[in-house]
Amino acid sequence: MSTINKAATQVDATIIANKRIGAYHQIILSVGEAVRHCRPGNFIAIQVGGDSSRMVLRRAFAISRTSETAQFGGTVELIVAPHGSGSRWLCAQSEGVEVNVVTPLGKAFGIPVEPANALLIGGGYGSAPLFGLADVLKSRGCKVDMILGASNGSKIYAPMEGKRSVNSLKIFTEDGSMGESGRVTSQLSQIVAERDIEIIYSCGPMAMLKAITEIADQLGVMHQASVEESMACGIGICMTCVLPVKDEDGAISMLRSCIDGPVMDGSKVCWDLVGKSTESF
C-alpha cells in the first residue's frame, strides 16, 4: 500500500447544517468514521453541481473543526466563501442534501512535541482551520495567541466558541470596520517579541503568507503556512497545484501542495518564484 493519501476515504456526506455567518457559510457535513483521521490543516474535496453538472472537478475546503456525536456520527465543519459557481452551489444546498467527499487530504499542521508559544494568523476564511488547531495546541500545553485579518469585518470569521482556546485575539481589517485598521503583519514583529512566540501558524492568501514568511525568517521563528493553490484533483495525480520549494541543499522542486502541503515550512517556499517560469530556477 501507498503512504500517500493513506487516511483518505471517499464517502457520501449529508449536509447537517448550512448557516450564513457574515460573508461565509458554515457548513457541517456528516462524514462518519473518516472524522477520526482529520487533523487541523487537512482538507476535504467535495463534488459539486449534482448529477448533470458541467463542473468536472472537486472543490477543496479546509476542515475547520470536527466532532463526534451520537446523532450525526462524525461531522466536519467548513467555512465556505461563495466565490465561483462551485462554492456558490455548495452554499445554496439545504440540510439533508448528500455530497460526495474525499477526506482527510493533505498534510496537517505539525504540533510541537514540547509546549511552546504559538501565534496563529488567519486571513479571511483562512482562520477556519486555526480554531481546531488552537484546541489541539492548547491541549498539548501550548500558549496560543491569534491574529485575524480581512478586507472588512464581514470577512472575519471568529466564532465565540473558537476563542476558548486562545490566550488573545487581535483583529485587523483594511477598512477598519472591525478591530484595528491594518493588516495581520502590521504589528507582527512586536507581537512576536512581546509574547515570546516560538512558532507561527498561518493560513490565508498567498501574499499574506509571503509577508509573514519574511518577518518570521528575519526573527528566526518557525513558520508553518497553509498554502492555497488551484487544485484539479486534490490527491496528487494531476500536478496542477505545485509550488517551488527549496530542499536542504537549496535545490528547488515543484512540490504538490495537495499532498506535500497544504501545510508547508514557510521558509522553504520560494514565494517570489510562484507563477514564474521554471527556467529561472
Partner 1 sequence: MSTPLDLSTTLGNAWFPSPLFTASGCASSGKELAQFISLKDIGAVVTKSVMNKPRHGRPTPRMAETPSGMLNSIGLQGPGIDAFLANDVPWLLAQGSRVIVSIAGETVDEYSVLARKLRAVSGISAIEVNISCPNVESRGQVFATDCDTASRVIDGVRKVIGGEIPILAKLTPDVTNIVDIAKSVVDAGADGVALINTVLGMVINLDTMKPHLGGKTGGLSGPAIRPISVRAIYQVHEALPKLPILGMGGVSSGRDALELILAGASGISVGTASFGNPSAIASIQKELVTLLAQRGFTSFQQAVGYAHRS
Ligand X SMILES: Cc1cc2nc3c(=O)[nH]c(=O)nc-3n(C[C@H](O)[C@H](O)[C@H](O)COP(=O)(O)OP(=O)(O)OC[C@H]3O[C@@H](n4cnc5c(N)ncnc54)[C@H](O)[C@@H]3O)c2cc1C
How many residues bind ligand FES (CB under 6 A)? The answer is 12
The reply to whether 152 sits near a second copy by the rule CB under 8 A is no
x/- binding map, residues 22-61, to partner 1, per CB under 8 A?
Answer: -------------------------x------xxxxx---
Q: CA nearest 252: which of 230, 228, 273?
A: 273
The reply to whether 238 sits near ligand FES by the rule CB under 6 A is yes
Find out whether 198 and 141 touch, Cβ atoms under 8 Å. Answer: no
> Partners of 17 in the beta sheet?
28
Q: State the binding partner of 51 from ligand FES, partner 1, ligand X, none, CB within 5 to 8 A by kind.
A: none
Q: How is 111-123 classified by DSSP, letter by letter? A: --SS--EEEEEEE
Element (H, E) at 189: helix 188-194
Please report how close the Cβ of residue 70 comes to ligand X at its closest, in angstroms: 27
Please report how close the Cβ of residue 175 comes to partner 1 at its closest, in angstroms: 21
Near a second copy by CB under 8 A, which window of 82-90, 107-115, 207-215, 273-281? 82-90
Site for a second copy (CB under 8 A): which residue of 15, 17, 55, 171? 55
Please report how close the Cβ of residue 230 comes to ligand X at its closest, in angstroms: 4
The reply to whether 154 sits near ligand X by the rule CB under 6 A is no
How far is it, in rounded angstroms, from Cα 177 to Cα 234? 35
Q: State the binding partner of 136 from a second copy, partner 1, ligand FES, none, CB within 5 to 8 A by kind.
A: none
* Burial of residue 120, with CB atoms counted within 10 A of its CB: 0-12 exposed, 13-18 middle, 19 or more buried: buried
How far is it, in rounded angstroms, from Cα 41 to Cα 142? 17
Q: CA nearest 221: which of 201, 257, 197?
A: 197
What residues line the site for ligand FES (CB under 6 A)? 231-234, 236-241, 256, 258
